[in-house]
Amino acid sequence: MNRQRPISVSGIGCICAAGKSLPDCVEAIFSDRAPAPAPPRALPGALHPVFEVPDRFLPALDSPNPAMVRAVRLALAAANEALMDAGLDPEALRHKRVGVVIGTNVGSGVSNRAIQRELGGIDCSRMSPAERFLTINPAYRIARHFGLSGPHVTVVNACSAGGDAIGLAGAWIRSGRCDVVIAGGTDALYEVTYYGFIALLNSDTGACKPFDLHRNGLNLGEGAAMMILESEAILASRGKKARALLAGYGTAADAYHLTAPHPEGSGLNVAVQDALAAAGARPADIAFVNAHGTGTRENDRVESFFLHRVFPGAPFGSTKGFTGHTLGAAGAIEAAFTIASLERGRMPATAGFDRPDPDLPAHPSGEPSKIRGTTALTQTLAFGGNNSVLVFTTESGA
Amino acid sequence: MKACIRGAGAVGGFGCGLASLEAAMRKRPSPDSVPAAAGSHAPLHAAQTLTAETDLLDPLIPPRALRRVDHYARMALLASHMALEDARMGNGLPENTGLIVATGMGPTANTLDLQPADAAATDLALSPILFSNSVQNAAAAYISMLLKIRGPIVSINQYEMAVPLALQTAIDWLEEGRTETVLVGSVDCLSKALHEATLSGQGSENGAGRRLAYPIGEGSAFFVLTRPSAQGSQCPFVHHVLLGRTGRTVEIPVPATVILHNGPIENADGAVRPRMHANFTHLYGVFPTSMGMDVAAALLLLRADRLLNTAVPQFAGGPALNAHPRIGCLKQGETGDWGMVVVGK
| pLDDT tier, B48 (very low <50, low <70, confident <90, very high otherwise) | confident
Contact status of A171 with chain B (Cβ, < 8 Å)? yes
- Nearest CB neighbour to B149, from listed A175, A200, A253: A253
Rounded mean pLDDT of chain A? 92
Residue A321 is predicted with a pLDDT of 96
B41 has a pLDDT exceeding 60: no
For residues B256 and A58, which has the higher predicted lDDT (pLDDT)? A58
Give the A window 316-345 contacts with B, CB below 8 Å: none
B164 has a pLDDT exceeding 70: yes
With contact defined as beta carbons under 8 Å apart, do A103 and A162 qualify? yes
For residues B198 and B285, which has the higher predicted lDDT (pLDDT)? B285
Residue A308 designated active-site? no
The beta strands (E) that lie in chain A are given as: 7-16, 98-103, 152-155, 180-187, 223-230, 244-253, 288-290, 316-317, 346-347, 369-370, 375-381, 386-393
Contact: A113, B117; criterion CB under 8 Å:
yes
Residues B313-342: what's their mean pLDDT? Answer: 82
**Whole-prediction pTM:** 0.94
Residues in chain A with CB shorter than 8 Å from the CB of B108 are 109-111, 192
With contact defined as beta carbons under 8 Å apart, do B6 and B232 qualify? yes
Q: How far apart are CA A296 and CA B203, in angstroms?
A: 48
- Nearest CB neighbour to B145, from listed A134, A153, A385: A385
The whole-angstrom distance between A108's CA and the closest CA on chain B is: 7
Give every CB contact of residue B306 below 8 A, 6+ residues apart in sequence: B318, B319, B320, B321
Residue A208 designated active-site? no
With contact defined as beta carbons under 8 Å apart, do B293 and B223 qualify? no
Rounded mean pLDDT of chain B? 82
With contact defined as beta carbons under 8 Å apart, do B159 and B333 qualify? yes
- Nearest CB neighbour to B151, from listed A117, A149, A253: A253
Residues B89, B91, B94, B99: is their CA dihedral positive or negative? Answer: positive
From the candidates B157, B187, B216, which should be mutated to test the interface with A, based on the most A CB atoms within 10 A?
Answer: B157
B296 has a pLDDT exceeding 90: yes
For residues B84 and A192, which has the higher predicted lDDT (pLDDT)? B84
For residues B311 and A384, which has the higher predicted lDDT (pLDDT)? A384
Furthest C-alpha separation in chain A: 58
Q: How far apart are CA B233 and CA B96, in angstroms?
A: 22
**Residue B23 backbone dihedrals phi, psi, to 5 degrees:** -60, -40
Contact: A113, B116; criterion CB under 8 Å:
yes
Q: How many helices (H) and strands (E) does chain A have?
A: 13, 12
From the candidates B1, B100, B130, B136, which should be mutated to test the interface with A, based on the most A CB atoms within 10 A?
Answer: B136
Residues A166-170: what's their mean pLDDT? Answer: 98
Residue B264 is predicted with a pLDDT of 47
Q: Identify the top-confidence range among A352-356, B197-201, B322-326.
A: A352-356
- Cβ count near A367 (within 10 Å): 12
- Cβ count near B30 (within 10 Å): 8
Torsion of CA A171, A176, A177, A178, to 10 degrees: 90
| pLDDT tier, B245 (very low <50, low <70, confident <90, very high otherwise) | confident
Residue A325 designated active-site? yes
Q: How far apart are CA B288 and CA A162, in angstroms?
A: 24
Bridge partners (DSSP) listed for residue B185:
B101, B222
Residue A18 is predicted with a pLDDT of 96
Percent of chain B with pLDDT over 70: 75
The beta strands (E) that lie in B40-175 are given as: 49-50, 98-103, 153-157
From A14, A16, A124, A159, active-site residue: A159
Residues in chain B with CB shorter than 8 Å from the CB of A129 are 105, 109, 193-194, 196-197, 200
Residues A23-50: what's their mean pLDDT? Answer: 90
Give every CB contact of residue A236 below 8 A, 6+ residues apart in sequence: none
In terms of Cβ atoms closer than 10 Å to its own Cβ (0-12, 13-18, 19+), residue A131 is middle
Which secondary-structure segment (H or E) carries B242? strand B237-245
| pLDDT tier, B118 (very low <50, low <70, confident <90, very high otherwise) | low
- Nearest CB neighbour to B106, from listed A108, A155, A266: A108
Q: How far apart are CA A84 and CA B76, in angstroms?
A: 42
With contact defined as beta carbons under 8 Å apart, do B268 and B339 qualify? no
- Nearest CB neighbour to B172, from listed A139, A171, A196: A171
The DSSP result for B176-206, as a single string, is TTS-SEEEEEEEE---HHHHHHHHHHTT--T
Phi-psi sector, B177: left (phi>0), alpha (psi -120 to 50), beta: left
CA-wise closest residue to B199 among A196, A159, A129, A240: A129
| pLDDT tier, A396 (very low <50, low <70, confident <90, very high otherwise) | low
Residue A49 is given by DSSP the state -
Residue B210 is predicted with a pLDDT of 44
| pLDDT tier, A33 (very low <50, low <70, confident <90, very high otherwise) | confident
Residues in chain A with CB shorter than 8 Å from the CB of B119 are 113
Residues in chain A with CB shorter than 8 Å from the CB of B109 are 110, 129
Residue B131 is predicted with a pLDDT of 87
From the candidates A106, A108, A173, which should be mutated to test the interface with B, based on the most B CB atoms within 10 A?
Answer: A108
Across the A:B interface, residue pairs with CB atoms under 8 Å apart total 218
Residue A59 is predicted with a pLDDT of 85
A316-to-A345, A349, B242 alpha-carbon distances in Å: 14, 9, 42
Residues B268-282: what's their mean pLDDT? Answer: 67
